[in-house]
Structure 1
Amino acid sequence: MIQCSEHFQPLLNLMRDRLLESPFIHCDETRVQVLKEPDRDPTSQSWMWVQASGPPDRKVVLFDYTSSRAQEVPLRLLESYCGYVMTDDYAGYNALALQPGVERLACMAHVRRKFVEAKKVQPQGKTGRADVALASINKLYGIERELRDVSDEQRYIGRQEKSLPELAKLKAWMEKTQPQVTSQSVLGKAVNYLANNWTRLERYIEAGFLPIDNNAAERAIRPFAIGRKAWLFSDTPKGATASAQIYSLVETAKLNGQEPYT
C-alpha cells in the first residue's frame, strides 16, 4: 500500500490546489496511534487532520497524518489560504485565524450538543434554561432547512431576514443568563462556550455559501474513526501517511458520487 500511495501524490497535490481555491474549508482532527515513530513511545498519540470543501459537484476531502497537534500544522496545511475556515474551538487553530485573509467560523452543532447535555441534568419533566437555548438553535437549523435548495444569494437574504433576528434573541438570552449560572455547572459550561465563541458562531450569515456547522468535516472523519476500531494503529509513519492518502482518494470519490472500489 505504501508503494502504491506514493504514485497518488500528484493527484493529491491537485486536490489540495482545488481545496485552497474554495471560499471556505471545514477543518477537524482525530487521534491515530503509530507504533514506530522516531523518538516516541509506541503509545503516544498522533493525529489525522482533515480538511473538506468544494462545490457540490467537485468536493474534496484531504487527510494528513502528523505526530503533532500543534498550531504549526494547520498553518502548513493551509499555507497562503485566504477565506473562511470552520473549526471547533481548539486553540491549535488560533494562529491560522490570525493570518491575513483568513476568517474563522465556529460550529453551531457543538453548541447544541452542550445544551443537550445541560438539558439531561434538568429535573425530569421540567422545562429549564437549556430548553430555551435549544429552541432557539433548533429554529436556526429550521431556517437552514428552508433555505437548503435556494441560491447563495437567496440564502443570504433569507438569513438576514430570519436568522439574524433569531441570533439576536439567542445573544440577549446568553447575556442575561451567563451571570446567573455557575461556570462549573453543565449549563454554565454550555453558556460560556456559547459566549466565548459567539463572534465566530454568528458569522455564517455573512454570506450565503457559508455553513452553520462543521458537520461536513465530522462526516468525513467518521469512516476513518470506524476503520480505526478494526485496525487499531499504523505500524510506521510511512504507513500512516499512506493511510491518509488512500482515505483522501476514497472519501473524495464517495463524496462526488463515484464508487471507489470498482
Structure 2
Amino acid sequence: MPDVAKDLDLSLLPPAYRAAFEALQVQAARAAELEEINKRLEHLVAELNHAVHGKKSEKLDEDERQLLFEELEVAVAEVQERKDTQAPGEVGPKCKQVARRNLGNLPEHLERIERVVEPDNLICPCGCGEMHKIGEDRSERLDIVPAKLRVIVTVRPKYACRHCTDGVTQAPVPARLIERALPTEGTIAHVLVSKYADHCPLYRQSQILGRAGIDIHRSTLADWVGKAAFHLGPVVDRLAEHLKTSTKLFMDETTAPILDPGRKKTKTGYLWALARDDRNWGGDDPPGVVFFYAPDRRGQNAEKFLTGFNGILQLDGYQGYNRLTRATRTGGVPIVVAHCWAHARRKLKEIHDRDKSEIAAEGLRQIAEIYAIEKDIRGTSPDQRLSARKTQSAPLVAAFGVWLQTQRIRVSAKSRLGEKLAYIHRHWDGLQTFLNDGRVEIDSNQVENLIRPIALNRKNALFAGHDEGGKAWGRIASLVETAKINGVEPFAYLKATLEAIATGHPKNKIDDLLPWNFKPSS
C-alpha cells in the first residue's frame, strides 16, 4: 500500500474515513510482517530438506545431523510462534493454531496432580439461583521437578534388659555396596547412568551437585564408579558368556582415547563390541552387547575376546579379524565370517561423491537392488529370508561379481577407484555368506548403532584416565546398552542390581541379574 500518510493530514478527514484509513495501515503492516515470516519459514524448511536429502547430509555423522535438526527445528518453532501470536494492537480473535505433531505422550504410571479451576461466580446470570455441574474438560501437561536430593537417616535403636546385664540387642547395619560411604545404591546408579547413558562427565556432575549445595569432588564420584564397576564385573562376564553361546554374533571396534600420564598426552585404546541382535528374523535370544577394552587394535585381542565362540561372525573388513578364520585359531574352531555390504557400498559412495564416477554409480545401483530385497524380507523367518535370497538376491550378487571383475580389469589398480574395487574383491567370499543362511544380516549396521553411544561419551569426556578406566567404561556401557535395547530403563535396572549385589545375591543365580531378566517393581 502506498504511504500517502506523509502528504495527507488525517485530521482533515471525517472520523469514519480516518478510522478506516488507520485500519488499512495496520493491515498493510501485518501483511508485510507475515510475508517476512513466511520467507523465513520457507528458508528454514529448505535448510531442513537439504539436511535430510541433500548431498552434504552424507558427510555429516548422525550426531551432527541431530544437532543440526535441533537448531533448525527450534528456529522454525520460534518463527511459527511469532506468526501465531497476535500482533500488538491488533483487534479481533487470533487465528486458530494448526495442531502440532510429535507432541509426546504421558504414560499412565506418572503421578497425576489434579488442579480444579472453578469459575469466579456460580450464580446464573438470569437470577434463578446457583448453577449445577453438567460436565468438565480435562487437559494434561507434563511437569518436571528437578532431581530431588535427600538424606536417608538409618536409626538402629539399642535395647537392654532392666533386670539383668546379659547384653544389648541391636539390629545389624543394613547392607551397603560401599561400606562407610555416603551414597545409596540409587545414588551410584544415577552417577553411572549420567556418565555412561547421558554422557555427562563426572566433573560436570560434581558441578551440578555443587549448585544444590552438595560438595562432592569428582575424585569421590570416580571412586564410586570404580567400586561399582568392580562389583558389576561378574554380571558382565556372565553376559559375555551368554552371548558367546550364540551361533551368530556381530563384532566391531571403536577408539577410546586414554590418558597416558608418562607422556602427558593421550594414547589410543579400543573398545571392542561383541553383540547379538536376532530381532530382524524373530530369534528367541534377547539382544545384548559387551564392550571389551584393549590398549591396541591387534587381532590377538579379538581372538582372546571370542574364546569359546564358534559360529558366524558379522564384521567389517579390518584385516585383524583374518586370524579368526585360520585353522590355527586359539580358543575355538575357525570362524565363518560374514562381511558387510554397507562398507562395500561406502567405498563406492566415496568415489562417486568425489569424482562423479559412472562406474561407481553403476555399482551403487546394483547394490541398491540387493538392499531392496532385504527391505522386503525384514522381519520374516530365516527360512523365508533364505528362500528369497536364493531366488532373488543370488542372481543379483552373481551379476555384481561379474561386473566387479570386469571393472577391475579396466581400471588401474593404483587409482582410487581401483583400490576400492580391490577392497570389495578381497572380501567377496564373506559378502556372499548371507546368501547361505537366513539368520545372517546383509551388513553389520546393528553393531555400529550400538557403539554410537561410545562415540558420544568419547566426545563429552574427552578420554578415560587410565587403561583400568577403559575397562570400567566397557563394563558399565555393556549393561547400560543391553538394558536399553531390551526396553529396560537403565537407572531402575542398575539400582536394583547394585542393591541385590549389596545384599549378597547368590552366585548360582547370577542370570537373574542380566538386563533382559529384570522385572521392575510396581
Q: 1:113-168, CA deviations, whole angstroms, 9 ceiling, x for partnerless residues?
A: 11111112345xxx711111111111111111111021111101010001100001
Query: CA–CA distance in 1 between the matches of 2:241 and 2:338?
Result: 22
Which position in structure 2 is the counterpart of 1:35?
259
Per the TM alignment, residue 105 of structure 1 is displaced from its structure 2 partner at its CA by: 1.4
Which position in structure 2 is the counterpart of 1:97?
325
Query: CA–CA distance in 1 between the matches of 2:409 and 2:306?
Result: 38
* Alignment length (residue pairs): 258
- Provide closer, same or farther for how the CA distance between residues 40 and 61 of structure 1 changes in structure 2, counting only shifts above 3 A: farther
Per the TM alignment, residue 41 of structure 1 is displaced from its structure 2 partner at its CA by: 6.8
Q: 1:207-237, CA deviations, whole angstroms, 9 ceiling, x for partnerless residues?
A: 1000111111111111110110110101122
Equivalence map 1:1-262=2 (5 Å): 1-36=225-260, 42-56=265-279, 58-98=286-326, 99=329, 100-123=333-356, 128-262=358-492
Unaligned runs of 5+ in 2: 1-224, 280-284, 493-522
Query: CA–CA distance in 2 between the matches of 1:198 and 1:19?
Result: 27
Instruction: After superposing the two structures, state which structure 1 stretch, 136-145 or 48-57, moved more.
Output: 48-57
Query: CA–CA distance in 2 between the matches of 1:186 and 1:210?
Result: 30
Give TM-score scaled by structure 2 length.
0.48
Answer yes or no: is the 8 Å Cα contact 1:81–1:101 preserved in 2.
no
Cα-Cα RMSD: 1.7
Give TM-score scaled by structure 1 length.
0.93
Query: CA–CA distance in 1 between the matches of 2:452 and 2:245?
Result: 25
Query: CA–CA distance in 2 between the matches of 1:16 and 1:189?
Result: 37
Answer yes or no: is the 8 Å Cα contact 1:48–1:64 preserved in 2.
yes
* Secondary structure at the counterpart of residue 199 of structure 1: helix
Give the residue type in structure 1 aligned to 2:348.
F
* Secondary structure at the counterpart of residue 314 of structure 2: strand
* Secondary structure at the counterpart of residue 167 of structure 1: helix
Query: CA–CA distance in 2 between the matches of 1:254 and 1:32?
Result: 21
Query: CA–CA distance in 2 between the matches of 1:133 and 1:67?
Result: 37
Instruction: After superposing the two structures, state which structure 1 stretch, 80-89 or 225-234, moved more.
Output: 80-89
- Provide closer, same or farther for how the CA distance between residues 170 and 40 of structure 1 changes in structure 2, counting only shifts above 3 A: farther
Give the residue type in structure 2 aligned to 1:147.
I
Query: CA–CA distance in 2 between the matches of 1:67 and 1:116?
Result: 32
Answer yes or no: is the 8 Å Cα contact 1:84–1:103 preserved in 2.
yes
Answer yes or no: is the 8 Å Cα contact 2:246–2:309 preserved in 1.
no
Which structure has the larger Rg over C-alpha atoms?
2
* Secondary structure at the counterpart of residue 43 of structure 1: strand
Per the TM alignment, residue 8 of structure 1 is displaced from its structure 2 partner at its CA by: 1.1
Per the TM alignment, residue 185 of structure 1 is displaced from its structure 2 partner at its CA by: 2.5
* Secondary structure at the counterpart of residue 269 of structure 2: strand
Answer yes or no: is the 8 Å Cα contact 2:256–2:271 preserved in 1.
yes
Instruction: After superposing the two structures, state which structure 1 stretch, 113-122 or 165-174, moved more.
Output: 113-122
Query: CA–CA distance in 1 between the matches of 2:479 and 2:404?
Result: 42
Give the residue type in structure 1 aligned to 2:312.
Y
Per the TM alignment, residue 36 of structure 1 is displaced from its structure 2 partner at its CA by: 4.2
Answer yes or no: is the 8 Å Cα contact 1:23–1:84 preserved in 2.
yes
Query: CA–CA distance in 2 between the matches of 1:172 and 1:41?
Result: 53
Query: CA–CA distance in 2 between the matches of 1:106 and 1:76?
Result: 20
Question: Percent identical across equivalent pairs?
Answer: 31
* Secondary structure at the counterpart of residue 141 of structure 1: helix
Per the TM alignment, residue 261 of structure 1 is displaced from its structure 2 partner at its CA by: 2.9
Query: CA–CA distance in 2 between the matches of 1:217 and 1:104?
Result: 15
Q: 1:12-41, CA deviations, whole angstroms, 9 ceiling, x for partnerless residues?
A: 12211221122211111111121147x777
Answer yes or no: is the 8 Å Cα contact 1:18–1:54 preserved in 2.
no
Greater relative CO (CA pairs within 8 A, separation 6+): 1
Per the TM alignment, residue 44 of structure 1 is displaced from its structure 2 partner at its CA by: 2.0
